[in-house]
Chains A and B, each alone.
Chain A
Amino acid sequence: MRLYLAYFKMKFLNEIQYKVAALAGIATQFAWGFMYIMLFTTFINNSDTNSISSIQIVTYIWLQQAFYMLFAFWSVDKDIFDSITTGNLAYELTKPVDLYDVWFVKTFALKIAKTALRALPIFLICMLPLLGEFTMTAPVSILAAIWFIITMIFSTILLLSYIMIIYVITITAISPLGVKITFSLIGDFFSGGLIPIPLMPDIVQTVLKYTPFYYIQNIPFNIYNGYISDNLEIIKIIGIQVFWIVILIAFGKWLMNRSMKKVVIQGG
């Protein structure tokens, strides 16, 4: 725990330094938010296909922008990645800590730090009624807010366990950068990073329900805006989140052990 706090403090202070960059980042977030909202609401309003409502989409998009850095697959810890690509990995093995846990905590801290700066302003501004039809709503009910918080935590952990697998595959990959790009693009897209899952064709949605991608940003955001509201359904979903978390972490750790053994044999 102390380790976590230490990392958090370090990463957070680092982010503050780049306060202007943070401001510019927030402005970018707004611009993209507006753009996607316009696009999706036009699709929704101009057709009579049964789908998510535009009010729900507006809130979804703003939540997505607020928590952008949290759920972005491509935003990983640069130091960790560098240590893999430069082969400094061998030195990490000399430290008396479980590398998997260290990386997990580091990346977690990084993501929280990056998000903390941007989430609050976006939340505050987007709730302002003067945005008219672009206004973000509050959670549809107190229960929804509670479910939101719970599923956010699980979603984040699930995302991290996926990212850990990206790290580990990179260790023994011929081209680390290629692996990173491929896996993060796939992850970003199919978890709803480009278009929200409710806007995808029904077949695609059904298929995605069998993958971990359906259970990352898609769940908490759509609970918040009321799209997913059946309590039984939500409990089932949380169960599936836990299921995927366990599988991915187990797989990640197993893969890491195997890869590290290879590294030691090859000499890094």
Chain B
Amino acid sequence: MLKIYLTYFKIHIKSLLQYKMSFILTAIGQAFTSMFSLLAIYFLFEKFGNIKGYTFEDVLICFVISYLGFSISECFFRGFDSFTSIISNGEFDRILVRPVSIMLQVLGSKIEFAKVGRAALAIIIFIVLFCYCPYLLAIEKIITMLFMILGTVVIFSSLHILKAGLTFFTIQSLELMNIFTDGGRDLAQYPLNIYKKWVLNFFTYVLPLSMVNYYPLLYVLGKTSNRLYMFAPFVSLLFILPCYLVWKLGVKKYQSVGS
């Protein structure tokens, strides 16, 4: 399976080299947008000083993790994100005719390297953060942040799978899903407890974004020394289940009704 994915990967790199200009432009555009998001946060902190006890550096950690996780997910799971085109141009039929897992084929169908433009800025800030906040250099904190990033990738990727699954049932209201992906990313720029209580609850029990953004952050910032919080991101793995279920149901429906 890995071999097949690597072949897809090679093809996408080759494809990329054909369109070098477009890649660079898109990547720069992406980096640009995240730069402005960062600028917004900077301005707000310059004016107000802090928010609910969090400093600029604290919020930066959230920003970096959210953007990094989101861009990795967008880069590799783009096939699911733009699944409507796969269905509408008949590519899905072709996928069904190949003796390989459907998910693997959808994964391999699109890899958008340009999305790393967003991640580039985040990585730079990450490095800068480590220089200015030495307390982050503790090994458990680094591991926690790694978990947070991976957990973010899991959550956004599951959302993409969910969106693709929903495509089997309706083509129309898919833009609404973007509220959760793009919205989730923007909301998670800040620790999730600065919003209303019900927001935190929603992102704990329905979409476990707080498990990768807020609870482990408490540990990283030293607001709690409970080691358990380090592993909160693992809850995100549970979120895969309902999303995958919708996907499976969707595929089944396609096979019984056609396109």
**Chain A residues packing against B (C-beta within 8 Å):** 20-21, 23-25, 27-28, 31-32, 35, 38-39, 42-44, 46-47, 49, 51, 175, 177-178, 181-182, 185, 189, 194-195, 199-202, 204
Contact = CB atoms under 8 A, between A and B. Distances in A.
Q: Is the interface of A mostly helix, strand, loop or mixed?
A: helix
Interface string B36-70: 11011001101111111000000000000000000
B52 A181 contact: no
A241 B116 CA distance: 39
B183 interface: yes
A185 B43 contact: no
Nearest to B172: A20
Nearest to A36: B186
B1 interface: no
8 contacts: A21-B172, A24-B174, A31-B179, A38-B199, A42-B195, A178-B28, A181-B25, A189-B36
Given A28-B179, A43-B44, A175 B21 contact: yes
Contact of A27 (B32, B37, B40, B179): B179
A49 B46 CA distance: 11
B225 interface: no
Interface residues of B, number: 34
Interface of B: 21, 25, 28-29, 32-33, 36-37, 39-40, 43-44, 46-52, 172-176, 178-179, 183, 186-187, 190, 194-196, 199
Contacts, number: 88
Contacts of B33: 185
A23 B170 CA distance: 15
B49 A49 contact: yes
Contacts of B47: 43, 49, 51, 199-202
Contact of B44 (A25, A182, A199): A199
A175 B194 CA distance: 41
A25 B183 contact: no
B194 A42 contact: yes
